Amino acid sequence: MVDWMDQREQREAMLKAREQAVQEYRRLKARERDQSPHIPQGKKKGMGILGKLLIVFVMLLAAAAGAAYWAYDQVTKVNSYQVAAMAEPYVLKEGATLNSVVRELAGKDFNPYILNAWVKINRFSYPVIQRGEYAVDGVKTLPQLLADMRDGNVIKVQLPTLSMIEGMNLSMIKRRLQAREDVAQDPELDLILNKPSEFIKVILVRSASDETLLQAIGGTHNSLEGLLMPATYEYEPGKTTSVQLVAKSLVKMAEYMRDRYIERNMEIDSIAPTPYHVLILASLVERESSIESELPLIAGVFVNRLKKGIRLQTDPAVMYGVSPDFRGPLRLSQLRKDTPYNTYTRAGLPPTPIAMPSAASIEAVLNPANTNALYFVARGPDPKEGHIFSATLQEHNRAVAQYRKAVKNYKEKAAQAEADAQAAAELGNGATQ
C-alpha cells in the first residue's frame, strides 16, 4: 500500500502549521518585550501584528508547497505502480474508459484525485484502449498494462456474440442464426432442429462425456423446442457453425436442469413427472407473462388446474398449434380446432414446449406459489399491468369484464387521439395553402 495523504490530512497539516506559526509569534513577542522595554507599546503592538502575518503567510506557503510536492510525488509513483497479480484475465469490456480502467486497477492504492490528474497528464499516450482479455501477472506496471490495451496485446480477443432470448421458439432461433453472415451455416441445421434425437445423444453423452446431462432433460426427444437455454453465446467469425451454437445452448440447458431439478418441490411430480414435463410447463409460464414476480403465481394456477383435471386453456399454446410464428389474435374457429397444442380441447400438457423458458420460469415451475387461484386474466391491454388472479369462476368473470372495459377504453382513446392528429394535420395543411 502506497503511503499517501488524503485531503483531510492535508487540511490538518495546514491547521497544525498555522498553530505553530501562532506559537512562534507569541514566543517572539515575549522575547521582544524582554529585550526592548523602552519601545512604546503602540509601536511594539504594530510590529507584532506584521510579524504574525508574515509568519503565518510563510507557514501557509510552506504547507501549500508541501502539498504540491506530495501530489507531484504521488502522480510520479503511479508511473512505477505494479498492478497486483490476478488469477483470472482482466476483461476490458465495451464502454470502458481510460479513467475507469485506471481506477479499477489502482484505485485501492491511490487517491482518486491523484489518478484523475495522472489520466489527464497521460491521456494522449493512450488515445484508445481495445476490448479483450489481458494477462495481469503482478510484474507489469500500470503504464505497461495500458500500453498492452492500447496496442491490443490480448490473450483472448473478445468475440462477437449471438443472443437467444427467452420466449423465442425454434423458428425464431433458426432465422436469427441464418441472419448472421459471420456464422458458418451448417446444411444439417434443419435436420437437427426437426429430428434431433441422435444429435441430443451425441452432444450430451459423447461430446460432453456426461450421462447425467441426458437424464437432466428427460432423455432424447423428437424436437429441440424448449431444450435450448436462453443466453448470449460467443462465436468465432467464419469458424463457429450454426449447429455448434445450438449444441452450446443445449448443453447449457442440460447443465442447468441437472443442478436445479433436484431442488424442486416434490408436489409437482404428480403433474410434471420428468424434467421434460417441467420444461413444457415452464414454456407456457414464460409465454403468459413478462413480469418475473408473477411467474410463480401463474405456475401455481397451472399446477392447481392440472391437479383438478381442469384444462389449461392457455392461448399461447393454441397459437403455437396454429403456427410457431402465429401471434394472434385468435379467432373462435382456431380456439375450437383440435390440435395437439389446443389446451381448450385437450387436457394436460401439450406434447412439447412451445418456446425457450427462462431460468425464472423454470424456477417458478420447480417451486410454484402456494395459491388457491384457478384463473387469471390480464388487467388491460398493457402487458406491464400484469394479471388478476381469481379462485372462483365468479371472481374470474368480474376480472374478465374489467379487462374488456379497459381494452374498450384504450381503443376509444386511441381512436380519439388518431382523429385529433388527423384534424391537426388537416388544419396545418390548410394554413400552408
Residue 19 has pLDDT above 80, yes or no: no
Q: Which of 261, 285, 311 is the last residue of a domain?
A: 261
Domain count of the chain? 4
Asked whether the predicted pLDDT for residue 249 surpasses 50, the reply is yes
Boundary-marking domain end, from 151, 182, 199: 151
Q: What is the pLDDT of residue 194?
A: 84
Is the pLDDT confidence value at 364 over 50? yes
Q: Are 102 and 186 part of one and the same domain? A: no
- Tell me if 414 is assigned to some domain: no
Query: Which of 93-107, 273-287, 332-346 is predicted with the least confidence, judged by mean pLDDT?
Result: 93-107
Say whether 413 sits in a helix, a strand or coil.
helix
Q: Is the pLDDT of residue 337 over 90?
A: yes
Q: What is the pLDDT of residue 18?
A: 60
All 3 cell numbers of residue 340? 395437439
Q: 246, 279, 243: which is closest to 260 by C-alpha?
A: 279
Q: Which residues 6+ apart lie within 8 Å of 33 measured at CB?
A: 44
Position 63 pLDDT exceeds 70: no
In contact, 246 and 232? CB cutoff 8 Å: no
- Whether 207 shows a pLDDT value over 50: the answer reads yes
- 3-class state of residue 82 by DSSP: strand
pLDDT attached to residue 9: 59
| Residue 140, phi then psi, degrees to nearest 5 | -75, 145
Task: Round the average pLDDT of the chain to a whole number and report it.
Answer: 85
Within 181-224, where are the H helices?
Answer: 189-194, 197-201, 211-216
**Least trusted range by pLDDT, from 122-131, 230-239, 349-358, 372-381:** 122-131
Residues 299 and 251 in one domain: no
Q: What percent of the chain shows pLDDT beyond 70?
A: 82
Same domain, residue pair 252 and 171: yes
pLDDT band at 124 (very low <50, low <70, confident <90, very high): confident
For residue 412, tell me if it sits in a domain: no
Report which secondary-structure segment, H or E, holds 56.
helix 41-79
Mean pLDDT calculated for residue range 125-152: 88
Could you tell me if residue 321 is inside a domain?
yes
**420 confidence band (pLDDT: 50, 70, 90):** confident
Query: Angle 106-111-112 (CA atoms, 0-180°, nearest 5)?
Result: 75
Task: Tell me the average pLDDT across 99-128.
Answer: 87
Give the structural domain span for 27.
7-79
C-alpha cell at 328: 394472434
Looking at residue 88, its pLDDT comes to: 85
> In this structure, are 278 and 366 located in the same domain?
yes
Q: How many whole angstroms separate alpha carbon 407 and alpha carbon 379?
A: 9
120 lies in a domain? yes
Q: What is the DSSP letter of 421?
A: H
Domain-located, residue 230:
yes
**Burial of residue 308, with CB atoms counted within 10 A of its CB: 0-12 exposed, 13-18 middle, 19 or more buried:** exposed
Residues 6+ apart with CB under 8 A from 141: 79, 80, 81, 82, 83
Please tell me which residue, 176 or 28, carries the higher pLDDT value.
Answer: 176
pLDDT at 416 over 60: yes
Is a pLDDT exceeding 70 seen at residue 68?
no
Domain boundary among 240, 261, 282: 261
What burial letters (b/e) apply to 383-404, b meaning 16+ CB within 10 Å? Answer: eeebbbbbeeeeebeebeeebe
Give a yes or no: residue 43 inside a domain: yes
Same domain (yes/no): 194, 252:
yes
Residue 72 has pLDDT above 70, yes or no: no
Query: In terms of domains, do 208 and 143 share one?
Result: no
Residue 294 lies in a domain: yes
More confident residue, 43 or 211: 211
Task: Judge whether 355 and 226 are in contact, CB under 8 Å.
Answer: yes
Q: Which of the pair, 73 or 46, is modelled with greater confidence?
A: 73
pLDDT above 60 (res 147): yes
> What's the pLDDT tens digit per position in 272-313?
999 999 999 999 999 999 899 999 999 999 999 999 999 999
Taking the CA of residue 410 as centre, how many other CA atoms within 13 Å lie in the half-sphere pointing to its CB?
10
- On whether residue 12 sits in a domain, the answer given is yes
Check whether residue 255 and residue 290 sit in a common domain: no
pLDDT of residue 93: 79
pLDDT tops 90 at residue 340: yes
